[in-house]
Amino acid sequence: MSVGWQLEELVLLDTMSSSSGYLSINAIQSLVKSGMTSLKCLDLTGYVLEGGSAARLAESKWPQLVRLRLNIGNLDPNTVGFLVKADWPLLRHLAVSGISVSSMSALCKGSWPYLETLALTDCGVTFGFQGAAELVKGDWPCLISMNLCDCDLDAASMNLIVEMSNWPLLASLDISYNYEHISGYISMLPAFKGRWPLLQRFREDDDMHRMNYVG
């Protein structure tokens, strides 16, 4: 009886070059066929996935995968569409960057009932209010931590997230490098408390505010 490779963490970073490198379909196919049945963490930060490569990645048999980092920017809807169909039932931590409104819509179709951490960073002007409107459609009842750094969010965007999101276990929220002034966020704290009663950590820019409400 053959035994699968016991590698649990694979980190392939491309952070030195000025432009992102591409992972070819053949490279991804070799990765998928490498027999890493015990893989729990995959980090492809800095690389670009095209639709064909994403389709091959989604064919992987990694039943124990819990952490996936794709901080690579410009994940188009087709690429995201392939990824949400992957059979990763235990996925708990997902990080992507540079995601657009249409890609966010595709991401929300993913069924990850155990997802605890979602980081959507460096989305810039491609996200904003419309991105927030798609984000709140995500069905992630176990979500504990949300990172929305540099996603072009203003007061209206945050009000929408507060009013429409369904993340009852949320304990950490990072909305650094967005457009609302700190005084605007301070005025939202009571609404944060009402929507996310378990929230313990709130980060805006470089300041950490720990909420210790009484009553």
* pLDDT tens readout for residues 127-171: 899 999 999 999 899 999 999 998 988 889 999 999 999 999 999
Mean pLDDT of 40-56: 83
* Residue 179 belongs to a domain: yes
Q: State the CATH number of the domain containing residue 179.
A: 3.80.10.10
Examine the domain organization and report whether 70 and 112 are in the same domain.
no
The token pair at 95 is 């990080």
Residue 8 lies in a domain: no
Domain that holds residue 108: 92-207
Do 59 and 83 contact (CB within 8 A), yes or no?
Answer: no
Question: Residue 51: what pLDDT?
Answer: 66
Domains identified in the chain, total number: 2
Q: Which residue has the higher pLDDT, 57 or 118?
A: 118
- At residue 65, the pLDDT reads 93
Question: What kind and span of H or E run contains 69?
Answer: strand 67-70
Q: Report the pLDDT value the prediction gives residue 15, as an integer from 0 to 100.
A: 54
Comparing CA positions, the residue from 175, 171, 177, 159 lying closest to residue 201 is 171
From the CB of residue 194, how many other CB atoms can be counted at a distance below 10 Å?
9
Percent of the chain with pLDDT over 70: 86
Q: What is the pLDDT of residue 7?
A: 84
With CA atoms as reference, report the closest residue to 96 among 28, 166, 55, 48. Answer: 48
Average pLDDT of the residues in 45-59: 81
pLDDT at 189 > cutoff 80: yes
Measured in whole angstroms, the distance separating CA 55 from the mean position of its chain's CA atoms is 19
Q: Please, which residues have CB within 8 angstroms of residue 131's CB and are 6 or more apart in sequence?
A: 99, 100, 101, 104, 123, 151, 152, 157
How far is CA 132 from each of CA 27, 44, 209, rounded to the nearest angstrom?
34, 25, 23
